[in-house]
Amino acid sequence: MKRISYALLAIALIFSGCIEENLDMGKPDHAGGPKKDKGGDDGGSSDGSVTYYLTGSSEDIQTNSTLGYLLAGGASDQKSWFDWMVNKSDGGDFVIIRTDNSDGYNDDTFIEGANSILTLVINDQATANSNFVRDKIRGAEALFIAGGDQTQYYDLWNGTEVENSIHYLANEKGVPIGGTSAGLAILGEFAYIPQSSGVISSEALNDPYHPYMESIKTDFLQLPGLGNIITDSHFSERDRLGRTITFMARLIADGVVSSYQDIKGIAVDEFTAVAIEANGDAKVLGDGTYEDYAFFFSANSVPDQCAEGLALHWTDAITAYTVKGVSYPSNSFNISNWNSLSSAAQSKQVNVNYGSISNDIQQPD
């Protein structure tokens, strides 16, 4: 059984659909209050300023950063995630982007070893297109997208300098890029951007064209190494296996991918993250004492029945690799060739019989 109590989970759900910060993280004394970059000729948000929080050095440095991705499943963040990113940044400038006005990551005892920690509050398109935001993101040696609302991220950042600058970091500069919860949801090529409260597994399985299944976007972030991948977070905790399988079925049935062999999925439990190197080697980071996992999915065939108003039927649906998060993982799952290099990985076949899943991988053996 998951070690988080139902009471604590209920509290978490009440306060936020995507809790991305450790609740014990307070603002350090030296962080100060919010700062604003005045607009004018240098750009700025619609009210003439950009709100940001800075901890550490204000002088930009350049380091030998390397590309990688940190896909975190949500709930309380783990220091090991940021240790991995800081190491890949070679101690450079660490930038967090979000839409809500919070400085919870500006704690240099949590993100330890970075030259600076800068949180940018980007909550309108004018801010997202400002020179200040563009330059600060492009100056990063590590970028992390906080949890929140992926629909806001899509509506406010798509087609702006935020998106362009993230592509610059991945394609030209080569830095680690991470995200938790909603921040994870937008990192794969296929992003679920709900225009409603979001779909649950039973709704998706019983009608793959349920109104809440309406928005899988392909025109947002396109990051090298994460093509043809759809991601999901809070996975076991919110029983999201059914909806992830249905997302994959829809992408095949709707012809979004040219072949069923092209679609892949990565789903991550809370308190867990997948750390992916540039060559595709992915290690699953966890506390080591908790029963939290990451899941790697590949489709085996074309769905037998994926139609509006009818339950999903997929007799040879997906192969699922399940990897437990540990503090110091030694083996990897490679997302470039979709093979496990870890004896700890469990491989299962999962099928869907008219809306019913044959094998519940969310309770590994």
Question: pLDDT for 217-268, tens place per residue?
Answer: 999 999 999 999 999 999 999 999 999 999 999 999 999 999 999 999 999 9
51 pairs with which residues across the strands?
Answer: 36
> How many angstroms separate the CA atoms of 352 and 241, rounded?
11
Q: At 239, which amino acid appears?
A: D
C-alpha torsion angle, residues 115, 119, 125, 131 (rounded to 10):
-30
CA 38 to chain centre: 31
Q: Where are the alpha helices (DSSP H) in the chain?
A: 6-15, 79-89, 125-128, 131-138, 150-157, 161-168, 182-185, 201-206, 241-253
Query: Backbone dihedral region of 155: left (phi > 0), alpha (psi from -120 to 50 degrees) or beta?
Result: alpha
The CATH number of 50-181 is: 3.40.50.880
Q: How confident is the model at residue 91, as a pLDDT? A: 96
- Chunked mean pLDDT (size 10), the chain, 365 residues: 37 33 31 45 48 94 96 91 96 97 90 96 96 97 96 97 98 97 96 88 96 91 96 93 96 95 95 95 83 92 97 96 86 83 74 90 57
Identify any residues that bridge with 273 across adjacent strands, giving them in sequence order.
Answer: 72, 285
Whole-number pLDDT of residue 196:
78
Angle formed at CA 173 by CA 171 and CA 174, multiple of 5 degrees: 70
Tokens representing residue 51 in the block: 């709100």
State the pLDDT at residue 31: 34
In angstroms, the CA 110 to CA 104 distance is 10
DSSP state of 146: P
In tens, the pLDDT along 291-325 reads 789 999 999 999 999 999 999 999 999 999 998 88
Domain boundaries, the chain: 50-181, 188-272+289-318+349-364
CA 57 to chain centre: 28
In this structure, how many other beta carbons lie within 10 angstroms of the beta carbon of residue 192? 23
